[in-house]
Chains A and B, each alone.
Chain A
Amino acid sequence: MRPDGSIAPASLEVGQVVDGFRLDALAHRGGMATIWQVRRVDPPAPTAEAALPLLMKVPRLRGGEAPAAIVGFEVEQMIMPMLAGPHVPKYVAKGDFTRLPYIVMERIEGSSLRERFDAAPLPIDDVARLGAKVATALHELHRQRVVHLDVKPSNVMLRRGADGGEGDAVLIDFGLARHDLLPDLLEEEFELPMGTSPYMSPEQVRFVRDDSRSDLFSTGVMLYHLTTGRRPFGAPSSVHGLRRRLYREPTAPRSLRPDCPPWLQEVILHCLEVRPERRYQTAAQLAFDLQHPDQVALGERAARTGSGSAGDVVRRWFASLGNRQAIEGGAGAQSARSPIVLAAIDVAGAEPALLESARETVLRMLEAEAGTRLACLTVMRINRVGMDELVEADGTSRHLNLLIALKHWARPLLQAPGAPAGAGDAAARITFHVIEAPDPATAIVEYARRNHIDHIVIGARSSGRWRRHLGSVSARVAAEADCTVTVVRATAQAG
């Protein structure tokens, strides 16, 4: 560092070796940073890393440069080493601020989500699939106690899948991010709201930086754009313009694109609610709805038209004035408080006493956390090979009968005293799924994984004869699931 606090301009060139990394090519020169393709030459890369293509991100820091670039890079250097998993670039190394600051990370092979926006509006299925990928990546990030706070198309990469197709979404650029358990270096730094104007949540406009639901608002802006070809709040360049999202309802997507299904409008406008507590509470819940369109409970948002009346303006403005129900304990705690519970119920085979025990257990969970969502699942066993009887002897559909039985099982939960006021709200928290599979345990475990389930409730048969005959589904689920599993037994009968 120079005596005046500025950092010497980096004059890097191809072929140069920095701390053992050889600069192979300039990949990108941006306003805030330059990106180099590098590889480790001295010492040679450890085998685990050898196949990993690498990038070196070097901030453009000249004397007198805006402090945003410096602090943003400090934040990124602090947070990236804390992150793990397929939805972020793997962190490799960082350079000291007093000499040459840089971050070496995995280069994501694939394409930027930004490219898809040139083709917007996209087919509805593409919007839902891309949205679910982004939400899944955000859920993984939030579980690691980090809020991104700059979710936008150019900060999402789509990893090239093993088959060469479109793989997972990967979040990049953590320069505005905030980690629950680390000092927020940006908190005191600036007088203007931080973020990218089209995507910034209302609370970010008001300098709030600790709410994971801000990222869901930004995701809603992207979904809106992909669906309609337009941004819901434009791209304002002034703080005054930014604040319009506090009182202006966006034009309903279906008014811009009549073939936008009501469920998608419901999902998008749910993300774009001005108050965080009226949005999806977790990215997992958003991903769930995008993966199960037929299960989205349609409310007033699905029916909206145009851009709202003067009354709507007043209503949104007043909503924005209310005190935000802040997340206590930050991003990670929010996921814990708004879990998705999977009730895996063998409605066709289980004894009545077991069905009741399972329902009691689920009921207590719904009562304990108002943010809980419940997915009720039953597996319709089919043979691995050969023809299955898809209709009952009386000619009715087995699948439909199971769904009816499952809904009947869940009916008392809709009236749960702990459920939020209004049957509509309770109904929106509960979804129903019948899946057809030869092996119930595998089907349940895979379903839970795909849908980011936090907690599985499953019944255990009490009859030893049946358990011996069929093997224990609950034991296998408990052993193989990634999440918490509660195994319920029927209360033992006296005598």
Chain B
Amino acid sequence: MKLALVADIHANREALAAVLAHAATQGVDRHAFLGDYVGYGADPGWVVDRLRERVDAGAFAVQGNHDAAVATGPQPSMVADARAVVAWTRDRLDTAQVAFLAALPLTHVEGEALFVHANAWAPADWAYLQTRREAVHSLQATDRRFTFCGHVHVPMLYHLASTGKAGEFKPSPGTTIPLSAHRRWLAIPGSVGQPRDGDPAACYAIFDSGEHVLTFHRVPYDHAAAAAKVRAAGLPERVAERLAGAP
């Protein structure tokens, strides 16, 4: 089965539409949404509605920190830009949309894979997974062979051998990577709506659960239109700048 791994959409309608269209051309059977559907972007309602449609059609979704913040109030650890957007977002969602975000689980386990927004060792604490050591920490906190998470907006692949040696790898888009059965893997597909590696194209990945191969993708979209909406909504300028690839 081909599973699209879709993370950190952040209310970016243009980016999500482009990613879903691209995934459709790749023969994707199903979608896994890895959290942070809202926050930063100008189209939270549209994104949540698309998400609910997909979940009704068999997709699954886990909760991200921005989703939790909109549902229950911002976490103390949240950066200022994000905090500013939480209230704005909440005002633009109806009760049903907020309830949907509030009811999302923190983790989803299916077959050999764990799906979680931030990490496996403490999903509700939202700690970032940015180093090999943290990847090992996460892999040791689950008995699943594959972990898929978001939260960090840069595509990354970590692996852990039975000997205890771990490695990390910056994937190139479009290359099909076999995930050897002799080790465990943690993949971060990167962000759909707020990539942070200087390339404005939207990130996502496809995991083939039968073949055990993973392909990272970059999908170009009209990021200028998304940024214009962010500015028009009076959201922080930095959020708009980042859509064009600003660091």
Our pick among B157, B177, B180 for the contact of A74 (Cβ within 8 Å) is B180
A294 CB → nearest B CB, Å = 42
Docked CA distance A300–B182 (Å): 50
Task: Determine whether B159 belongs to the interface, using a CB cutoff of 8 Å to chain A.
Answer: yes
Q: Which residues of B contact A182 (CB under 8 A)?
A: 169, 175, 177-178
Interface members, chain B 180-237 (any A CB < 8 Å):
180-183
Docked CA distance A181–B159 (Å): 15
Closest to B159 in A: A183
Our pick among B159, B172, B175, B181 for the contact of A185 (Cβ within 8 Å) is B159
Q: Mark A55-81, 1 if CB is under 8 A from B, else 0.
A: 000000000000100110010011001
Stretch at the interface among B20-28, B83-91, B94-102, B160-168: B160-168
Task: Determine whether A98 belongs to the interface, using a CB cutoff of 8 Å to chain B.
Answer: yes
Contact B181 A96 (CB under 8 A): yes
Closest to A185 in B: B167
Q: Beyond A181-B172, A183-B157, A183-B159, is A189–B165 a contact (Cβ under 8 Å)? A: yes
Q: Which of B157, B162, B171, B182 has the most CB of A within 10 A?
A: B182
Contact B165 A188 (CB under 8 A): yes
Docked CA distance A187–B161 (Å): 12
User: Count of B residues near A, CB < 8 Å?
Assistant: 18
User: Count of A residues near B, CB < 8 Å?
Assistant: 22
Q: Which residues of B contact A96 (CB under 8 A)?
A: 181
Q: Which residues of A contact B181 (CB under 8 A)?
A: 96-98
Closest to B145 in A: A98
Q: Which residues of B contact A5 (CB under 8 A)?
A: 162
Q: Which of A183, A184, A188 has the most CB of B within 10 A?
A: A183
Q: Which residues of B contact A97 (CB under 8 A)?
A: 180-182
Our pick among B163, B169, B177, B180 for the contact of A77 (Cβ within 8 Å) is B180
Contact B183 A187 (CB under 8 A): no
Closest to B177 in A: A182
Interface members, chain A 177-226 (any B CB < 8 Å):
180-185, 187-189
Contact A187 B167 (CB under 8 A): yes
Docked CA distance A70–B161 (Å): 10
Closest to A180 in B: B172
Q: Which residues of A contact B166 (CB under 8 A)?
A: 188
Contact A70 B182 (CB under 8 A): yes
Docked CA distance A181–B177 (Å): 8
Q: Mark A158-189, 1 if CB is under 8 A from B, else 0.
A: 00000000000000000000001111110111
Q: Which residues of A contact B171 (CB under 8 A)?
A: 181
Contact B165 A181 (CB under 8 A): no
Contact B182 A74 (CB under 8 A): yes
Contact A185 B161 (CB under 8 A): yes
Q: Which residues of A contact B161 (CB under 8 A)?
A: 67, 71, 185, 189
Contact B165 A77 (CB under 8 A): no
Seed contacts A1-B182, A74-B182, A77-B178; 18 additional CB < 8 Å A-B pairs: A67-B163, A67-B165, A71-B163, A78-B178, A78-B180, A81-B178, A97-B182, A180-B172, A181-B172, A181-B175, A183-B159, A183-B177, A184-B167, A184-B169, A187-B167, A188-B165, A188-B166, A189-B161
CB-defined A-B contacts under 8 Å, sample of 8: A5-B162, A67-B161, A74-B182, A180-B172, A183-B169, A183-B177, A185-B183, A188-B166
Chain B contacts to A: CB under 8 angstroms: 157, 159, 161-163, 165-167, 169, 171-172, 175, 177-178, 180-183
Instruction: In the A-B complex, list the 4 residue pairs whose CB atoms are closest, starting with the nearest.
Output: A183-B169, A5-B162, A97-B181, A181-B175
